[in-house]
Amino acid sequence: GWQASMKSGSLSYVIPCNRLPVQLMSQVRVYTSNGQKKDLGSEGTNGSTPQETPHKVGTGRQDTSNAGQKQSFLKEPIQVKVKAVLKKREYGPKYTQNNFITGVRAINEFCLKSSDLDQLRKIKRRSPHDDTETFTVYLRSDVEAKSLEVWGSPEALARERKRRKEAEIKYRENLFRNQRLLREYKEFFGNTKPRSSAAAMFFKGPGKVVMVAICINGLNFFFKLLAWVYTGSASMFSEAIHSLADTCNQALLALGISQSARTPDPSHPYGFTNMRYIASLISGVGIFMMGAGLSWYHGIIGLLHPHPIESLLWAYCILAGSLVSEGATLLVAINEIRRSARAKGLSFYQYVVQSRDPSTNVVLLEDAAAVLSVAVAATCMGLTSLTGNPYYDSVGSLGVGTLLGTVSAFLIYTNTEALLGRSIQPEQLQRLTELLESDPVVRAIHDVKATDMGMSKVRFKAEVDFDGRVVTRSYLEKQDIELLLQEIQQVKTLEELEAFMLKHGENIVDTLGAEVDRLEKDLKQRNPDVRHVDLEIL
């Protein structure tokens, strides 16, 4: 119920009363943040007495009581504490000149040479790359000043940038004619990662399975085509088309394997691993259109316009040889998938359904369909030979087409799921979550996402609530506590306190970044499938 008003250096307090308001004058002492005492509102400060309008009362007893209250208040001066608050700083464009810039950006964006950077101040900062701990950066203000010194004016620098941009566009348009310059560029900067030989990829693993399948299916197509020309059997035509589709699709798989080994570039920072899934998806579509479509078409034509079939002896011999060769390719694919599934700790069925290796999966399913289709074709041709009814042969062609359509639908579904970016298994996601939550620096994690990028590559992302006390203690453990205590004791003014807090605050933020790098490294070491980790500070 107290009301205060400042007037002419004095503080007037008004006390509410149920009878009459009483206005009192009191001396005020203000204490600043440095402990000094100042008097405000005293009668001798400015040599003048503040004007006041006393209230008239009707009895002398009230005047006496009011006077006694006034004397009691004058004996006890009021102390006011002033809170010291830093003035809010406005950060303009000039403050961003303290930003850091890497040497590569300085050369590219400001048209400088490496020799120009040798004369600038070098600053060591924590590296964002796993293979190095620190790297060198430069102050942006120094780089801009150096560029103006080299080029003379901002206009000249802008003209040089425009000229280099036009030259870069022209270079890209004539890339095939500049292979010699490209080799010189690689020799000057060096190759960051050696590219595996494309030929070596086809002598082991999925590449070996695909090459074996291409050779065998190519031979099968040639002999089945001869048998169809000799006999005119619709089932044999379906088998020939089936082998041709397998050969073309597996050639496409080989191209996908070769392209997936390309090193990442600025346009594709996560690499070309998904090229295997893209090739498998196109292969599934090709099986459906070429294999199933033509088989259904030829079977329907045979039902509508049946014609007698010549001797099927050579057709049986070719089918028997095809059964042996397709079975051998199927065994190669099965052994490769078993070996890979055992290495990943998965069952054979899980490895195939999850499409962990799309190229081998395509070979497995195509060869399994080939073996079954050979059995179907042989059975229908045998019924036609026994009964003389050509409809059985046409029904066999429809059966082969249906089998190929089922395989193609499965391949399209599994590869589409992989390309869309599906989540990893819940058990694996739980292990990654528990690993993060068991670290003392982590209070909680939220919005966890783990995406299977294909070919046993996982991208992990989470919002992390860090414990600031643990981060600060981690920073203090690396400091000289006695020296830090001396710095604290030397702080006397607000400016010194601000400089002290800014210095150690920046170091604590760097410590938090180091903790993030440590967590990402632990996730990758304990889970080799995790290739990309994004931990966002909450």
What the block records as the tokens of 494 is 């607000």
The pLDDT, as a whole number, for residue 1 is 39
Contact call for residues 315 and 381 (beta carbons, < 8 A): yes
Residue 204 in tokens? 């082991």
Q: What is the pLDDT of residue 193?
A: 45
What are the tens digits of pLDDT across the range 1-39?
A: 344 444 444 444 444 444 444 444 444 444 444 444 444
Predicted local confidence at residue 328, as pLDDT? 85
User: What average pLDDT score do residues 290-302 get?
Assistant: 82
Can you say how many angstroms the Cα of residue 491 is from the centroid of all Cα atoms in its chain? 44
Task: Look at residue 526 in the predicted model and tell me its pLDDT.
Answer: 85
Cβ count within 10 A of residue 513:
15
Domain boundaries, given as residue ranges, for the chain: 93-188, 202-420, 426-537
pLDDT interval class at 257 (50, 70, 90): confident
CATH homologous superfamily of 202-420 equals Cation efflux protein transmembrane domain (1.20.1510.10)
Rounded to an integer, the average pLDDT of 291-318 is: 79
pLDDT for residue 97: 63
Average pLDDT (31-49) is: 44
**Count of helix runs (H) and strand runs (E) in the chain:** 19, 12
Strand partners, 126: 134
Question: 122-127 contacts: CB < 8 A, separation 24 or more?
Answer: 125/100, 126/510, 126/513, 126/514, 126/517
- For the packed helices 275-286 and 358-387, what is the interaxial angle rounded to 10 degrees? 20
**Which comes out higher in pLDDT, residue 410 or 36?**
410
| Domain made up of 93-188: CATH architecture | Alpha-Beta Complex (3.90)
With residue 458 as reference, give the H or E element that holds it.
strand 458-466
How confident is residue 96, by pLDDT bands cut at 50, 70 and 90? low
State the average pLDDT over residues 502-525.
Answer: 90
State the CB neighbour count (10 A cutoff) for residue 488: 9
**What span, in angstroms and rounded, lies between the C-alpha atoms of 109 and 294?**
57
List Cβ neighbours of 383 (8 Å cut-off, separation of 6 or more).
Answer: 389, 392
Strand, coil or helix: what is 263?
A: coil
Q: Predicted confidence band at 410 (pLDDT cuts at 50, 70, 90)?
A: confident
Model confidence pLDDT, tens digit, residues 477-492:
988 888 989 999 999 9
pLDDT digits (tens, 9 = 90+) for 119-154: 888 888 877 766 677 778 888 888 888 898 899 898
- pLDDT band at 472, cuts 50/70/90? very high
Query: For residue 40, what are the β-bridge partners?
Result: 28
Q: What gap in Å lies between CA 451 and CA 446, rounded to an integer?
A: 16
Please state the rounded mean pLDDT for residues 47-61.
43
Q: In whole angstroms, what separates CA 182 from the centre of its chain?
A: 30
**Is 80 exceeded by the pLDDT of residue 190?**
no
Q: What is the pLDDT of residue 282?
A: 87
CA 197 – CA 158 distance, rounded (Å):
43
Lowest mean pLDDT among 19-33, 76-90, 448-462: 19-33
List the single range of 16-20, 179-183, 279-283, 482-486 with lowest mean pLDDT. Answer: 16-20
Superfamily of domain 426-537: Cation efflux protein, cytoplasmic domain (3.30.70.1350)
